[in-house]
Amino acid sequence: MSENKKHFETEAIRTQSENTQFSEHSVPLYLTSGFVFEDSEEMRASFAEEKQRDLYSRYSNPNVNEFVDKVCKMEGAEAGFAFASGMAAVFSTFATLLDAGDHVVSCSSVFGATHGLFTKYFPKWNIECSYFDIDKVETIESLIQPNTKFIYAETPTNPGVDVLDLEFLSAICKKHNLLLVIDNCFATPYLQQPIKFGADLVIHSATKLMDGQGRVLGGVTVGKKELIREIYLFSRLTGPSMSPFNAWVLSKSLETLAIRVERHCENALKLATFLEAHPKVTWVKYPFLKSHPKHDIAKKQMKMGGSIVAFEVEGGIAGGKAFFDSIKMCSLSANLGDTRTIVTHPASTTHAKVEASVKAAAGITDGMVRCSLGLEHIDDIIADIEQALA
Ligand SMILES: *Cc1c(COP(=O)(O)O)cnc(C)c1O
């Protein structure tokens, strides 16, 4: 890392594409599919990669480059590639790293679509996946096989808000010569930088807190230069790249990531503390509450506790539904990481068709509510939830 590295907030704002002839203060949108060359020699050298420049927006684009540079600085990564969505990042990373006959060890509580890739599409490419429970990390080593390529995890997890020890996972990977791939979407690079703890690749859905305003889809994978080079080569052929427009929006969004995430976390901690003292709430899970089973690990690897609070209302499925029907201001939605506070009932929606044992392993109970704290005034958020509980 260079001597003159500036603080997170400063890099987020001052990492910008080069000024153009108009000396704009705010980087403009380069809505172009292609780029022109001076002469045949420049064209030849560019395609031969002897000269670094943009050729075609499926490969790279000034707005996309700026977005990737910002995320690399935030995560302490050597290189990155940006995608049209978080799932495009997840899929392209997997497709690059894995060959037929390979094996992956993954935490059982991962994003639903990622789990769908493992169960629906991996088998047809003869790729196997073994899962470990969030509460049984001591079983991870026993799942490793000679053909295992990487360990995959998210922390904090969705929707259970459990925490995995990144240093511990990285030590296992080093011992068995595996890669560690982390989906850092819930924490954002402002709260947690998995590369510091030994991760090789970090994936984000930029759709969530990176945009933070529910406008655009995006994804990014950052990490070791030689791995990103392979992901780039795969992606420039297959075309999952981020659009210049979305990259332009997201580059501006990242300028305010630190200040937004800080407020999201403040609101979340205040709501979690309120809920913990409420008689109709059976339990509350939030990484920065002392009652969280992995509170010490959360404190070690996260700057603040994140924007998601999980809790259980009395009365099982019926109690959960009654709570949702009484909500007035918060949005009933499955999204997260928005300026608007969102409440989700996993048991009757996202996980309605999931087996009971799988739900239990992910920490989902019938009366469980997942709340993604927004940026409204905390008193208004609490007032809405308080009247719905009543
Ligand atoms: C939303 C999400 C994704 C997928 O991102 P999209 O941008 O919706 O494709 C992947 N991982 C996690 C943890 C997510 O929350």
- In this predicted structure, the answer to whether residue 350 has a pLDDT above a threshold of 80 is no
Looking at the CA of residue 219, tell me the nearest atom of ligand 1.
Answer: 7
191: Cβ below 6 Å to ligand 1?
no
- Give the pLDDT confidence of 209-244 residue by residue, as tens digits: 999 999 999 999 999 999 999 999 999 999 999 999
Range of the domain at 111: 8-254
- In this predicted structure, the answer to whether residue 348 has a pLDDT above a threshold of 70 is yes
Q: Distance between CA atoms of 229 and 227, rounded to whole angstroms?
A: 5
Protein residue with its CA nearest to atom 4 in ligand 1:
86
- In this predicted structure, the answer to whether residue 1 has a pLDDT above a threshold of 50 is no
- In this predicted structure, the answer to whether residue 130 has a pLDDT above a threshold of 60 is yes
Note whether residue 168 is domain-resident.
yes
- In this predicted structure, the answer to whether residue 362 has a pLDDT above a threshold of 90 is no
Protein residue with its CA nearest to atom 5 in ligand 1:
86
pLDDT confidence bin for 308, thresholds 50/70/90: very high
- How much distance in Å is there from the Cα of 179 to the middle of ligand 1? 21
What is the pLDDT averaged over residues 321-345?
A: 93
- How much distance in Å is there from the Cα of 155 to the middle of ligand 1? 13
Looking at the CA of residue 88, tell me the nearest atom of ligand 1.
Answer: 9
- In this predicted structure, the answer to whether residue 2 has a pLDDT above a threshold of 70 is no
Protein residue with its CA nearest to atom 6 in ligand 1:
86
158: Cβ below 6 Å to ligand 1?
yes
Which of helix, strand or coil describes residue 106? strand
Predicted local distance difference test score (pLDDT) of residue 3: 54
Predicted local distance difference test score (pLDDT) of residue 363: 76
Q: Are 324 and 332 in contact (CB under 8 A)?
A: yes
Q: Which of 85, 107, 111, 154 to mutate to test the pocket of ligand 1 (most atoms within 8 A of CB)?
A: 111
Q: Which helix (H) or strand (E) holds 181?
A: strand 179-183
What is the pLDDT averaged over residues 97-114?
A: 95
Q: Is 217 found in the same domain as 117?
A: yes
| Number of domains within the chain | 2
Cis amide linkage into residue 240, ω under 30° from 0: no
What is the pLDDT averaged over residues 102-115?
A: 94
Query: Residue 234 maps to which CATH number?
Result: 3.40.640.10
365: Cβ below 6 Å to ligand 1?
no
Looking at the CA of residue 206, tell me the nearest atom of ligand 1.
Answer: 7
- Report which residue type is found at 195: I
pLDDT confidence bin for 256, thresholds 50/70/90: very high
Protein residue with its CA nearest to atom 2 in ligand 1:
205
- How much distance in Å is there from the Cα of 86 to the middle of ligand 1? 5
Q: Is 145 found in the same domain as 70?
A: yes
Query: Residue 330 maps to which CATH number?
Result: 3.90.1150.10
Angstrom CA distances, 98 to 84, 230, 259, 279, stand at 21, 11, 38, 49
Q: Is 127 found in the same domain as 21?
A: yes
What is the pLDDT averaged over residues 311-329?
A: 92
Predicted local distance difference test score (pLDDT) of residue 49: 87
Show Cβ contacts of residue 141 under 8 Å, excluding neighbours closer than 6 positions: 172, 176
pLDDT confidence bin for 357, thresholds 50/70/90: confident
- Report which residue type is found at 182: I
What is the chain's mean pLDDT, rounded? 94
- How much distance in Å is there from the Cα of 336 to the middle of ligand 1? 10
- Give the pLDDT confidence of 22-63 residue by residue, as tens digits: 888 889 999 999 999 999 999 999 888 898 899 999 999 999
Domain boundary pick from 254, 279, 304: 254
Higher-pLDDT residue of 2, 188: 188
111: Cβ below 6 Å to ligand 1?
yes
Q: Is 158 found in the same domain as 276?
A: no
What is the pLDDT averaged over residues 245-267?
A: 98
Note whether residue 158 is domain-resident.
yes
Q: Which of 67, 83, 87 to mutate to test the pocket of ligand 1 (most atoms within 8 A of CB)?
A: 87
What is the pLDDT averaged over residues 145-150?
A: 98
- In this predicted structure, the answer to whether residue 311 has a pLDDT above a threshold of 70 is yes
Q: Is 93 found in the same domain as 15?
A: yes
Q: Is 261 found in the same domain as 376?
A: yes
Protein residue with its CA nearest to atom 11 in ligand 1:
111
Q: Is 235 found in the same domain as 314?
A: no
Q: Which of 93, 94, 185, 210 to mutate to test the pocket of ligand 1 (most atoms within 8 A of CB)?
A: 185
Q: Is 194 found in the same domain as 265?
A: no
What is the pLDDT averaged over residues 173-180?
A: 98
Helix residue ranges per DSSP H, the chain: 8-14, 40-47, 62-75, 86-97, 112-116, 140-143, 166-176, 188-191, 225-238, 244-255, 257-276, 295-301, 316-326, 356-361, 378-389
Q: Is 346 found in the same domain as 243?
A: no
- How much distance in Å is there from the Cα of 239 to the middle of ligand 1? 19
86: Cβ below 6 Å to ligand 1?
yes
Q: Is 325 found in the same domain as 222?
A: no
Q: Is 295 found in the same domain as 208?
A: no
- In this predicted structure, the answer to whether residue 107 has a pLDDT above a threshold of 80 is yes
- How much distance in Å is there from the Cα of 136 to the middle of ligand 1? 24
- How much distance in Å is there from the Cα of 157 to the middle of ligand 1? 12
Protein residue with its CA nearest to atom 1 in ligand 1:
205
Q: Is 247 found in the same domain as 261?
A: no
Predicted local distance difference test score (pLDDT) of residue 332: 94
Note whether residue 2 is domain-resident.
no
Note whether residue 3 is domain-resident.
no
Show Cβ contacts of residue 56 under 8 Å, excluding neighbours closer than 6 positions: 33, 34, 35
Question: What burial letters (b/e) apply to 304-334, b meaning 16+ CB within 10 Å?
Answer: bbbbbbbbbbeeeeebbbebbeebeebeeee
Looking at the CA of residue 337, tell me the nearest atom of ligand 1.
Answer: 15
